[in-house]
Structure 1
């Protein structure tokens, strides 16, 4: 113990106040555990402050402007002006309201909130260094600890973040003016979401990606719909190129060099560059060497179905616990960790964890693809409805995209879904529930869906998989 430390104790110590951490803290307090939550930055974590929420706020605002501008086919003529500073202030107001809500929820549940950075001293205590000169530190003894320190943007060595011209997603979401031209390095979900936002707000956007298409990990026909829509918005793509350096220009812009697999060099000029090549877990502040807890080669902490690490009494949830790095997965893990710490028979079931990409159009997926089902030993059957056959999609002036269901041919149990289209992030919930409940194709096909709605496409896809399609051939 450091001289001058204050020593306290708690039954459940949660390190990190993001989605996994604050949910674990609240659930632990609900179950009667004396719970302490340590957060060094802002309650709600990256998701609420610099990721999920602010990005979706800007996506919504950009959509309003773009949809108004492009509604001539509906007989609506408008040329909206975009005040990026005012838009950012509105976005920040949404974030502030939610962060205060998280803090209020924790306090109402009886969670003890501590501001600072926690580092393990040994297997039963951490030291919390409080921010600011002269603020000191305190030692907290715990019975159970939940590591929920989240992740941060990966920095490309040749394009280190400077916060001014080489931006991470955090700085891009805080811009108060729309750049005339923006170079985006990385065509994953963050790169594609923000490329779409800034293109709709008037920026000239070019995306550089070292692979041969957008959205690695998604099926080709899923990615193609999003890429083609982005191209229609004016987004340019350069595939098979990796960023290899940059330099400032005399006019205040920058020049970014890229290299292809044949060592060919290309150059791009832009006002700013957004580097969005992925995220990495934050574990370097935890003092893991002091407790002999080693991350794997990718920096993640290995956990079992109860969110336990290799160290007795220590759990890990959210991004530090590995893929998929999703806020709702972190929340589920946080609940499980708290329940196990409280002696409850809780465990994780990852078979129905949905994922969403808030591009235009959206992507929503859950469970297995056809190829994954085959690899897992199933004899899969697929049912699909294109949105060009959906009355509701057409009334929204949306024609591209589809709903695809994957099921086991013998039993008709639902195995997965891939949805591309408006509100895909909402539509996928029905299939997730079906998988969780062990539902069959006939259960969805036999459920009357409201007309006219987008959800009818899920119904029709189920009927198509059974050879009973009515509205598609």
Structure 2
């Protein structure tokens, strides 16, 4: 079968690329290794984790804030099996939606492992051992990533687990030892902390969410500590061993002392690594980077082989579903002869704890390192009428603006619905708005987004109204 474009991988980058190619009139096929579409994000990542995050937040509120709202409950309990079943239903509905979209857009799908025979020939190896050969003018590699591991710490998927297994536990851990204070670990750690687990976080860096603005990490640590989560920052994990139903994690303290933590589960969340195994890249002369296994691409996301593109987690940049989606659309339009554009500085990052954390643009640390003169304005949610009404008083919005031009250079927030609100920052910065531009725009009252306006007012000659 001859195609204009074959997409290998059906995660957010792959399925969006396939749909956009089809919209542009290109005969398109998508090859997926697993039995369902959607990749890590829809099956064992973004979607199921958000389902558990929402369920656990409902329980936490019922246990801790409903009484203040005048809602009394007796014999509150967690049906963890039902919680996981609901998560699975959400995943099934979402992955099924990709099947519908492929049919709607006349995209041919193949289930199996796709690999290169040559630059224009893809072999699909199916589960039954049979093979099918496809030919194409262009290929988009969108095979995503898998959880990273530590070489001295073997994952047994039973007691020492990754995020994949953490989404399918059959019980709430008594004591979850979490290795890694990044996005994935903190989200899943907060799920189980809300449900009653003791959660201990061991992080090599001196702060959690270390890639984001430092102020966000400090505030998030303070909030998560209220859930009972404990943090060991600047600690280096040296090993872990399983004895029966107990895991012992050993680590070095910043002072060089050796310590141990014992729990019934250990979640290893130290990032993700590009997944390029089995693609047969060597057959077309593509080599992956020694560290990280990422594929090198040019400014148009084309590899060293003409007509072969790569997007998402297998290439440089943040491993984010929406970054992969943007790149999928970008490559489809490049293949169709258009001239699209992506501003990588304005791809937001989000942590879906509660309160949520969101960031776009430059951090304060980056501006200092680059010698950029800037001004800052912040506004705490405890001063927001809407936040008081909903009992969401933790967190703040911080805006960084150019000291001379007032152009917004970065927006960072931790608070209620920050994941949704960061879009205002993205839009403002895409159009190169000044902080004062945002202050001149009407924001409905009472809303959480008023905190953005107030932070911009604070950055504009310290003009915040409500603090």
CA distance in 1, matches of 2:242, 2:402: 56
Which of the residues 357, 362, 369 maps onto 1:368?
362
- In the other structure, the counterpart of 2:169 is 175
Shift of residue 261 of structure 1?
5.6
Which of the residues 270, 282, 301 maps onto 1:277?
270
Return 5+ residue gaps in structure 2 as ranges.
none
- In the other structure, the counterpart of 1:108 is 104
Are residue 141 (structure 1) and residue 135 (structure 2) matched?
Answer: yes
1:249–1:376 Cα change, 3 Å: closer
CA distance in 1, matches of 2:435, 2:232: 41
Are residue 299 (structure 1) and residue 299 (structure 2) matched?
Answer: no
Which of the residues 48, 52, 55 maps onto 1:61?
55
1:264–1:309 Cα change, 3 Å: same
Shift of residue 351 of structure 1?
2.8
Are residue 80 (structure 1) and residue 69 (structure 2) matched?
Answer: no
Structure 1 segments (4+ residues) deviating >4 Å: 374-377
Deviations 1:156-181 (A, max 9, x none): 22322222111110110111211112
Are residue 445 (structure 1) and residue 439 (structure 2) matched?
Answer: yes
User: Residues 127 and 137 of structure 1 are in contact (CA less than 8 Å); yes or no, is this contact kept in structure 2?
Assistant: yes
Shift of residue 412 of structure 1?
2.1
- In the other structure, the counterpart of 1:320 is 314
- In the other structure, the counterpart of 2:410 is 416
- In the other structure, the counterpart of 1:119 is 115
CA distance in 2, matches of 1:377, 1:18: 39
Deviations 1:247-296 (A, max 9, x none): 3335x222222234665322222111111010000012211111111222
- In the other structure, the counterpart of 1:93 is 89
CA distance in 2, matches of 1:369, 1:156: 29
* TM-score, normalised via structure 2 length: 0.95
Give the paired residue count: 463
User: Residues 461 and 469 of structure 1 are in contact (CA less than 8 Å); yes or no, is this contact kept in structure 2?
Assistant: no
**SS class of match (1:62):** helix
CA distance in 1, matches of 2:68, 2:298: 54
User: Residues 352 and 435 of structure 1 are in contact (CA less than 8 Å); yes or no, is this contact kept in structure 2?
Assistant: yes
User: Residues 189 and 357 of structure 1 are in contact (CA less than 8 Å); yes or no, is this contact kept in structure 2?
Assistant: yes
- In the other structure, the counterpart of 1:15 is 8
Which of the residues 33, 39, 42 maps onto 2:32?
39
User: Residues 241 and 261 of structure 1 are in contact (CA less than 8 Å); yes or no, is this contact kept in structure 2?
Assistant: yes
Which of the residues 256, 260, 271 maps onto 2:249?
256
CA distance in 2, matches of 1:348, 1:361: 29
**SS class of match (2:340):** coil
Return 5+ residue gaps in structure 1 as ranges.
1-7
Shift of residue 240 of structure 1?
2.8
Shift of residue 96 of structure 1?
0.2
CA distance in 2, matches of 1:376, 1:259: 33
Point out the more displaced range, 155-164 or 35-44. 155-164
- In the other structure, the counterpart of 2:258 is 265
Point out the more displaced range, 350-359 or 87-96. 350-359
CA distance in 2, matches of 1:130, 1:262: 53
**SS class of match (2:134):** strand
Shift of residue 88 of structure 1?
0.4
Deviations 1:354-407 (A, max 9, x none): 110112221110111233235445432222111111111111212221111112
Point out the more displaced range, 303-312 or 107-116. 303-312
Quote the RMSD (CA, aligned, Å). 1.6
User: Residues 160 and 247 of structure 2 are in contact (CA less than 8 Å); yes or no, is this contact kept in structure 1?
Assistant: no
**SS class of match (2:16):** helix
Shift of residue 348 of structure 1?
2.3
CA distance in 2, matches of 1:260, 1:282: 33
- In the other structure, the counterpart of 2:146 is 152
User: Residues 40 and 131 of structure 1 are in contact (CA less than 8 Å); yes or no, is this contact kept in structure 2?
Assistant: no
1:256–1:351 Cα change, 3 Å: closer
